[in-house]
Structure 1
Amino acid sequence: MRATTSSVALLALAANLAAAVPVKKPRWQHPVPDDYLVSLGPRPYYLVQNMTDSPLKQQLEACYNKPVGIHGWSIGHRGGGTLQIPEETTQSTEAGARMGAGVLECDVAFTSDLELVCRHDICDLHTTTDILLRPELAAKCRVPFTPANATSPANALCCTADITLAEYGTLCSKMDGFNRSATTVEAYQHGTPSFRTDLYNTCGQVMTLESYIDLVDSLPGYRNFTPELKTPPSAVPMPFKGYTQAQYARDMINTFVKKGIAAERVWPQSFNPADIYLWLNEFPQWGAQAVYLDEDADVASNYTAAVAKLPALKASGVNIIAPPYNYLLSVGGPNNDSIVPSMYATAAKEAGLDIIAWSFERSGPLDLVEENGDYYWSSVAPIVSYDGQVYEALDVLGREIGIIGMFSDWSATVSYYANCFDLAGPQGGKYY
């Protein structure tokens, strides 16, 4: 897209900022330090053992003792340890890194004093932190806790925009969940899904965008970044105290610029097309590898339209599309009992778009996905019934469709596969 006069000025400002700060260049080719061991734990091996006999299972078994390292194809969702560790925390990010994720995520929200922090939703503090147990902070929530009664479930709504950065820093993260039947704040804190755990639910350390950058940049083996600019919900209308969506999008990128992080190390994400196009216009190197998160086909009747728009997205400058993986998988094969690439996947590749998918390991045991109406497996749920099919689906995504990265709540699962088949992750600087 052609830059406007004002965006040219902003480009110049961004360039001056970048020139003023020493830029840390990628070191993807450097070996991982000898004293840092990627550790995958038992889950990948359990999943392989749970597969039915097939050439794929044999290939994965042949990798049982293969040395494993850091892979950019493995992207830590909300940190990468989210299956068992509170999300968007130092602990989850360190866990994802230890499990080999080469790219680590921070979902970016803003506080009442317009500082940027890591939180999956601007308004999720009531279910992901202990804010309701802090009376002085709970009093600032835009919807106070209301106990369950005979006709209504327990309710609350607490947003990052309700508190300051300093107040946010005092919170403990917890496993996402709540008790709909709670009549007390203490009881409301519970509700972790049964397939997760509260074993590590012991005051996860919240992160700011800057502390996330510092952490990821300090990790052995050199990791990269994928910040997602969270779209404010209706409860936090924009502009917020004069703070516009455009300035919010600029501030996220400028935080990396200020920190001296090179553009080729960062894959900015957004569901909001305006954010993507602002980055393309005002921060072209950053925008070139921006990830457009697509959920337009969540309504079944929109699926055909979502597929049809893909060539136009590529023509407009978008290089990477990121749908949930259910968009990319269909039921097919000679007996209509196999997981195969979908029409969406085929159209995206034909349009020249690279694909990143989200998010593995959010569903629990696969024998329950159809019964539970699980979102992520919805397109293939009728033929999914055992956990080993995780790797059948991942192989369709990785080697048949050719996605360039997979988000996961338990990075070891994806890291094992990426290491086994030596998959390349997103390549910084590829698009410029």
Structure 2
Amino acid sequence: MHLPHLTLTLGFAAALVTAAPKPSHGSQQKITNLQFGSRPYYLVDDMDASPLKRKLESCSEKRMKRPSDFSISHRGAPLQFPEHTVQGWLAAARQGAGVIECDVAFTKDRQLVCRHSQCDLHTTTNILTIPELAAKCTTPFSPAKDGKSATAKCCTSDITLDEFKSLCGKMDASDPTATTPEEYQGGTASYRTDLYAAPGECGTLSTHKEFIKLTNSLGLKFTSELKTPEVEMPFQGEYTQAMYAQQLIDEYKAARIDPRRVLAQSFLPDDIFYWIKNEPAFGRQAVYLDERVDTAEGYEEAVKSMSSLRKKGVRTLAPPIFALLDIDERSGKIVPSTYAKAAKKAGIDLIAWSLERSGPLTTVKARKEYYYSTVVEKVGSEGDVYEVVNALAKDVGVKGIFSDWPATVSYYANCFGL
């Protein structure tokens, strides 16, 4: 019996084993021919009739002349490209993103690299298919057996920079039913694609320094997130959190980047306060990623703390989309949340994350899962993405939106002159 899906999966995995990383794109000429592709038009066509739809339709042939800082690339363009790869960043730049993101983690030899999590190499790279590197993982691969899912955990801190650079980037996914490391490479969500991580291809991984060089050559702004370590700090008994935070800034200073072009981010408030105190030129733009809102108690605490945070020098907060929006019981319209109003009153700027992360809005699961949970009644089709973007832009007044497909936000920004 022929099993085409299994054959394709194993073929893809085998290619990952043998594919050699392509040279890093350390520099790239500025992109002037910005393109949206077909997705924004698909979303507009899918909208219900409204003034917003008419406005967006009127911009269908309007050429984007410059990147927009309102459009922030989340991990590159991971709806279709392997995240934190040169290929994904270039796709985001082509789509008009004015700000490009590198999530920062450190290697065993304490070099900064771009990964969404310190310990995601087993799902975002081909490390498990390289025996000598797989053996160094925090938790080696264990196959699915007796009803238990396959497991693994591989961290940047498990390997050196040279070993990290030998890896290939792939779509962030894994197959819990896998019995071999090669099978474990599969599992890409149906709404994403392996088209740009196809057999024989290799997503190019990058150091933070290389990310800075590439983004600078494109003439764009930077946002580097200091990822919360998953190893005990101080690492190796001497590498402290403060050293980690300082190293991120030092790499921008060594490259002579104007601090006004840099949005340093962290979920840890102490990192933000460190930058404000020790690197004020960068601290002014530092972004406090606020996950306190994930619980009712934390949300209430966040609202109450706005004035205090502003007095401590925090100028920008970035919570998930749901924390900024609510539905008015009387009008049924999407309106700014209590959190959004409190931030505005305190004089704090807002950035939202992350658009198009949940998958198709036609599924209740995607609407309720996280990002749209407070406005689930108002998002029933793909076109409603633009209702959310418009509410964030016009009603909440966010300064930017992270997106897994920057073209969606760029199209809106181009239409409204943002």
Question: Could you tell me the TM-score, scaled by structure 1's length?
Answer: 0.87
Contact 2:266 2:272 in 1 (8 A): yes
Q: Which residue of 2 aligns with 1:309?
A: 305
Partners of 1:277 and 1:231 lie apart in 2 by 15
Residue 268, structure 1, aligned to residue 264, structure 2: yes
Residue 77, structure 1, aligned to residue 53, structure 2: no
Pairing of 1:323-338 with structure 2 (within 5 A) = 323-332=319-328, 334-336=330-332, 338=333
Contact 1:326 1:376 in 2 (8 A): yes
Pairing of 1:242-261 with structure 2 (within 5 A) = 242-261=238-257
Q: Which residue of 2 aligns with 1:384?
A: 379
Q: Which residue of 1 aligns with 2:15?
A: none
Structure 1 counterpart SS, 2:99: strand
Partners of 1:170 and 1:148 lie apart in 2 by 27
Contact 2:358 2:366 in 1 (8 A): no
Over the matched positions of the two proteins, sequence identity in percent amounts to 53
Q: Which residue of 2 aligns with 1:279?
A: 275
Pairing of 1:151-300 with structure 2 (within 5 A) = 151-201=147-197, 202-219=201-218, 222-233=219-230, 236-241=231-236, 242-300=238-296
Q: Counterpart of 1:213 in structure 2: which amino acid?
A: I
Q: Counterpart of 2:220 in structure 1: which amino acid?
A: R
Give the drift of 1:369. 3.7
Contact 2:112 2:208 in 1 (8 A): yes
Contact 1:91 1:205 in 2 (8 A): yes
Give the drift of 1:310. 1.5
Residue 142, structure 1, aligned to residue 138, structure 2: yes
Unaligned runs of 5+ in 2: 1-28
Q: Counterpart of 2:373 in structure 1: which amino acid?
A: S
Give the drift of 1:297. 1.3
Shift in alpha-carbon separation, 1:273–1:371, aligned structure 2, 3 A = closer
Give the drift of 1:278. 0.7
Unaligned runs of 5+ in 1: 1-31, 424-432
Give the drift of 1:333. 5.2
Contact 2:358 2:367 in 1 (8 A): no
Residue 351, structure 1, aligned to residue 346, structure 2: yes
Contact 1:369 1:384 in 2 (8 A): no
Give deviations 1:123-170, integer Å, cap 9, x for gaps.
000000000000010010010000111242110000000000000000
Partners of 2:92 and 2:319 lie apart in 1 by 21
Contact 1:100 1:411 in 2 (8 A): yes
Structure 2 counterpart SS, 1:366: coil
Q: Counterpart of 2:410 in structure 1: which amino acid?
A: S
Q: Which residue of 2 aligns with 1:430?
A: none
Partners of 2:88 and 2:347 lie apart in 1 by 34
Residue 375, structure 1, aligned to residue 376, structure 2: no
Partners of 1:335 and 1:166 lie apart in 2 by 58
Query: What is the aligned residue count?
Result: 385
Contact 1:147 1:153 in 2 (8 A): yes
Question: Could you tell me the TM-score, scaled by structure 2's length?
Answer: 0.90
The RMSD of aligned alpha carbons is 1.3
Give deviations 1:313-362, integer Å, cap 9, x for gaps.
111100000001110011225343x2221111111111100001111111
Residue 117, structure 1, aligned to residue 113, structure 2: yes
Partners of 1:98 and 1:77 lie apart in 2 by 14
Residue 413, structure 1, aligned to residue 408, structure 2: yes
Pairing of 1:24-43 with structure 2 (within 5 A) = 36-43=32-39
Partners of 1:141 and 1:268 lie apart in 2 by 29
